[in-house]
Structure 1
């Protein structure tokens, strides 16, 4: 009888843990990018569980890289055609609705030497990225090295290269950041909560 009661308690506790975890992710997921400070929420969009902030400050590619890293993010890694399409569409919508102060956006790739593949920034976890997807405009890439940094050209619906350390008047940048649900699950609060609940379960199982 005692074993049955213990098993019942354990199952109920496991269900409680799962409910708490799922609820936490759902609550954060519903507004996964709302935690990102921005003058206009429409500058931020969620794609495949990641947040992309289309920053309207005209700075160099190098400085954009530093600023995104300071936010625990990375200059955007465009991994597939859908992400590319959605970023371009949002950029065009911003321009159409007078919400844009720039026309182009730095993204996190560069051409190190003539004819070389794209070198992408490390992802938000600090891992190296191997990404075969490209969306270069006809004739691109024309630059490499110090003028081989990638920018998104929404009007032409593709990528071009330009000088990495020159602040271009109409060129902002796209920061890739963790979604709110990912941030929650990585936080100390969530880890402490899960540790406590698992301790309760194990304490009644042993």
Structure 2
């Protein structure tokens, strides 16, 4: 993108016969300053900036994935359906780093009065006490084999074929509850793809539009 801009500026300057060097210099400086500002604004959006949330602090990026900490109280099954409708999945927590970052963000949301809930459904089910977790499919549609667990003491409890995982930030781990129960203080975490080609194209378009507007204004000055 920048090579195209530089080449365009060079050809523009070469075509400015009779124009003073000072005018050319000022126009070039304005052009590149505007491009820098536009680029910074595009980067600020981030690769998870496309996610619509009531508060963008509910969204964070971990290991090239986006996690939206939704504050709506619904059942596990409803949460799973809502995430799937967004081309995502209920969060699949694969390691300590992801678990800790989600817990820290949940605690920060609560401490800053930006949370309506205290717990969050995540994408695993436990059929019987001591059984392996059955995870939702990955955002790419693949089945997930994930041996990582972060149960709090005395979990998972025996809730038969309806036991679903819930993130408990205050206890720094996971608990279980009935999948079909709406818990007043339980939201959910959606795992979504990080970035998109449409977002990248939008950012490039903003830079190009800014360049063209600056060029027009430069001629008018």
The TM tier, using the shorter chain, reads: 0.7 to 0.9
- Out of 58, 63, 70, the position equivalent to 1:48 is 63
Higher Cα Rg, which structure: 2
Tell whether the 8 Å contact from 2:127 to 2:162 is kept in structure 1 after alignment: no
- Supply the distance in 2 between the matched residues of 1:51 and 1:119 (Cα, whole angstroms): 21
Structure 2: gaps (5+ residues): 1-41, 202-221
> 3-state DSSP class of the match of 1:64?
helix
TM-score, with length taken from structure 1: 0.74
State the shift of 1:116 in Å: 1.0
Match of 1:194 in 2: none
2:194 is equivalent to residue 184 of structure 1:
no
- Supply the distance in 1 between the matched residues of 2:59 and 2:171 (Cα, whole angstroms): 21
After superposing on structure 2, the runs of 4+ consecutive aligned residues of structure 1 that deviate more than 2 Å are: 27-30, 143-147
- Supply the distance in 2 between the matched residues of 1:146 and 1:128 (Cα, whole angstroms): 19
Aligned residues: 164
Structure 1: gaps (5+ residues): 1-26, 190-206
Across the aligned residues of Structure 1 and Structure 2, the Cα RMSD in angstroms comes to 2.4
- Supply the distance in 1 between the matched residues of 2:45 and 2:58 (Cα, whole angstroms): 17
- Supply the distance in 2 between the matched residues of 1:158 and 1:32 (Cα, whole angstroms): 27
Match of 2:97 in 1: 82
> 3-state DSSP class of the match of 2:171?
coil
Q: 5 Å matches for 1:1-206?
A: 31-180=46-195, 183-184=196-197
- Supply the distance in 2 between the matched residues of 1:117 and 1:96 (Cα, whole angstroms): 34
State the shift of 1:30 in Å: 6.3
State the shift of 1:28 in Å: 7.1
State the shift of 1:153 in Å: 0.3
Match of 1:8 in 2: none
* Residues 77-86 or 112-121, more deviating: 112-121
Match of 1:14 in 2: none
- Supply the distance in 1 between the matched residues of 2:140 and 2:146 (Cα, whole angstroms): 16
> 3-state DSSP class of the match of 1:114?
coil
Tell whether the 8 Å contact from 1:146 to 1:164 is kept in structure 2 after alignment: no
TM-score, with length taken from structure 2: 0.69
> 3-state DSSP class of the match of 1:165?
coil
Tell whether the 8 Å contact from 1:28 to 1:184 is kept in structure 2 after alignment: no
Match of 1:198 in 2: none
Tell whether the 8 Å contact from 1:29 to 1:179 is kept in structure 2 after alignment: no
When residues 125 and 28 of structure 1 are mapped into structure 2, their CA distance, relative to the original with a 3 A threshold, is: farther
1:59-93 deviation per Cα after TM superposition (whole angstroms, max 9, x unaligned): 00000000000000000000000000000000000
State the shift of 1:112 in Å: 1.6
Match of 1:201 in 2: none
